[in-house]
Structures are given as C-alpha cells and as structure tokens.
C-alpha cells in the first residue's frame, strides 16, 4: 500500500561543511525531520551532466522527503574544472561515510543509509551502490578517530538517470542505430561528457550495465528506478539494458514509468498526480528497506 502524501513532520534545514579540498569547502544541505526517530537517511546527489548544479537543485524533493520522516543530506562535490572522473566519486564516497558517522546525531542510524539522485547524480548513486569498496572511490580517509564505516548503501533510488554514460554520449553524437537524439542535443551534452569523462573508455568502465555484462562482481542494493515514458535525454534502450543486466546478476529493480510528465516532475515539482505517485513510491521504498 502506498504511503499518502501528507506533512507529518516539521523540518530543520541547515548547511554544514563535510569536506574541504585546499581552501574550498564542500557543503551538505541537511533536511531533518523534528521527531524522535530513528529515521532513514538518504544521501542526495544533484544532476547536471556531471558538470553543473549544486546541493540546492532538488530542494523540492528533499523537503518533501524530510516532511515524510526521512533525513536527507544533499551533497556538493567536485566537478570540472576542479576534477574529472573519478574525483566526484571520491567526494561522494567520503560523504556517505561521513553521513554514517553523523547519523545518530541526526536522528537516524548508520546502518539506515541509502542514496538517490537525478540524471547524472542518479548514475553516481548507482555506481557507488555497486562499488562501495572501490579503492579509487574510497581514496579520501575520514578524520582520525572517526568510527569505522564503509560506503555500502541499503537502497538506491534513481530519478531519470544517465544510466549508461557511453550510450548517452554515442546517442548525443548521433552514432546509434537504435535511437536518434533531438536537434541540438549533442551541442548541449557532448562537451559535458568530454569535460568529466575525458575518454570513451572511462565512460564504458563506469557504465553499470556494461560492468555487469563484463562480469564485474558488484554489490547489488535494491533499486527503485523512476522514469518518464518520454525521455529525450536518456535513451530507452539503456534503461532496458540496465534493468536486464541488474536482474540477471541477481539484483532487485522496481521500475516505474510515468506518462505525460515533464522533465524534473519529481525533483523540481511534486504538483502533478504522477509526481505525487512517484513520491509515494519513493517514500514507501525507503521505509521498506530501512525500517
């Protein structure tokens, strides 16, 4: 049964520095329900083709989650020109571990941490969910004396992900036979792919379905995949291949497709019936896998 959309909790919203590179602080925006808890904790990753955006992108969604009893930590992280792949992955991996060290103080538990993201942020959430022990991503140590925690996730919720970076790159360049991009899409997207990934080999290495097809031994947290029926930025064959490979590897994917919704229907607005249904499913999925 879906959870109804209702304001159950008042919330507190604050910014806190979680990481610093040189003189540059990186902030997390915390959305905390006021209550006794313990509440699930979701690490939220913004989209922007790996090169744009910040922790404020998806405030509408994050506030709604907190009002429904979920602690949210929306992270800033390095993007080009500060760092190509895998710099952001190292920052987010650190952020997940840091959130676990803070979870009890926030009214959550260190073993109740999942992740979500939209577009490129969803891709990063999924890749980290599959590779919590990758030494490249785990390169940043927590401060001395911090509790020993890893970056494993209880669940991952994907909102219109760029689930295959190489597939989307070839699509944007008009090099695929199975789908054709809209006019002007390549001019908008290809430079961001080049800036972040730098090579097609890196895009292929970090594509979840391609990694599974290669036989990579990945961790497979439960996945909720939220998508629109018409996604010009995200080729439908890539969605289908990810779901196929993840399930073939033994993972659980709950796929939900919404008709007639516009871009950002959940992350930027929850006004439509489809967005409200997606939010219900999001909340239900989180509580199903984290108490």
Residue among 167, 43, 64, 63 nearest 117 (CA): 43
> Torsions phi, psi of 190, nearest 5?
-55, -45
Beta strand 113-118 with 41-45 is parallel
Return the structure tokens found at 252: 């659980």
> How much is the pLDDT for 7?
54
> How much is the pLDDT for 3?
43
> How much is the pLDDT for 14?
98
Domain ranges in the chain are 11-289
H or E element in which residue 113 lies: strand 113-118
Return the structure tokens found at 171: 């699509």
Whose structure tokens read 């009893």? 69
> Torsions phi, psi of 252, nearest 5?
-100, 125
Report the alpha-carbon distance of residue 222 to residue 125 in Å, rounded: 12
> How much is the pLDDT for 50?
98
At CA 24, angle to CA 28 and CA 202, rounded to 5? Answer: 80
Q: What is the mean pLDDT of residues 105-131?
A: 98
> How much is the pLDDT for 73?
98
State the angle between helix axes of 236-248 and 165-172 in degrees (0 to 180), rounded to the nearest 10.
Answer: 160
Q: State pLDDT tens for residues 57-104.
A: 999 999 999 999 999 999 999 999 999 999 999 999 999 999 999 999
Q: State pLDDT tens for residues 140-197.
A: 999 999 999 999 999 999 999 999 999 999 999 999 999 999 999 999 999 999 999 9
What's the fold here for domain 11-289?
Rossmann fold (3.40.50)
Return the structure tokens found at 85: 């792949």
Q: State pLDDT tens for residues 187-233.
A: 999 999 999 999 999 999 999 999 999 999 999 999 999 999 989 99
Looking at the chain, the whole-number percentage of residues with pLDDT higher than 70 is 97
Residue among 244, 220, 191, 230 nearest 127 (CA): 220
Asked whether 241 and 216 are in contact (CB, 8 A), the reply is no
Report the alpha-carbon distance of residue 102 to residue 16 in Å, rounded: 11
In which band, very low, low, confident or very high, does the pLDDT at 271 lie, cut at 50, 70 and 90? confident
H or E element in which residue 206 lies: none
> How much is the pLDDT for 36?
87
Report the alpha-carbon distance of residue 193 to residue 27 in Å, rounded: 24
Asked whether 272 and 265 are in contact (CB, 8 A), the reply is yes
């Amino acid at each position: 049964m879906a959870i109804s959309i209702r304001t159950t909790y008042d919330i507190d919203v604050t910014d806190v520095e979680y990481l610093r590179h040189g003189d540059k602080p990186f902030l997390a925006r915390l959305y905390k329900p006021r209550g006794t808890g313990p509440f699930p904790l979701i690490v939220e990753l913004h989209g922007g083709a790996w090169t744009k955006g910040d922790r404020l992108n998806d405030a509408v969604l994050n506030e709604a989650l907190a009002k429904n009893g979920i602690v949210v930590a929306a992270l800033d992280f390095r993007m080009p020109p500060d760092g190509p792949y895998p710099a952001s992955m190292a920052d987010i991996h650190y952020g997940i571990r840091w959130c676990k060290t803070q979870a009890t103080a926030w009214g959550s538990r260190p073993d109740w941490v999942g992740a979500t993201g939209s577009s490129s942020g969803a891709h990063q959430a999924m890749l980290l969910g599959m590779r919590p022990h990758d030494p490249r991503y785990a390169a940043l140590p927590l401060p001395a004396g911090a509790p020993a925690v890893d970056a494993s996730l209880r669940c991952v919720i994907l909102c219109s992900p760029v689930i295959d970076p190489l597939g989307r790159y070839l699509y944007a360049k008009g090099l695929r036979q199975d789908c054709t991009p809209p006019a002007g899409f390549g001019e908008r997207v290809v430079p961001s792919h080049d800036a972040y990934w730098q090579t097609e080999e890196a895009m292929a290495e970090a594509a979840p379905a391609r990694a599974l097809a290669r036989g990579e031994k990945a961790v497979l947290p439960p996945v909720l995949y939220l998508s629109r029926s018409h996604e010009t930025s995200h080729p439908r064959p890539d969605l289908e291949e990810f779901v196929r490979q993840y399930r073939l590897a033994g993972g659980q994917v709950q796929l939900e497709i919404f008709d007639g919704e516009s871009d950002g229907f959940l992350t930027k607005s929850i006004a439509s019936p489809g967005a409200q249904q997606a939010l219900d499913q999001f909340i239900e999925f989180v509580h199903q896998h984290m108490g």
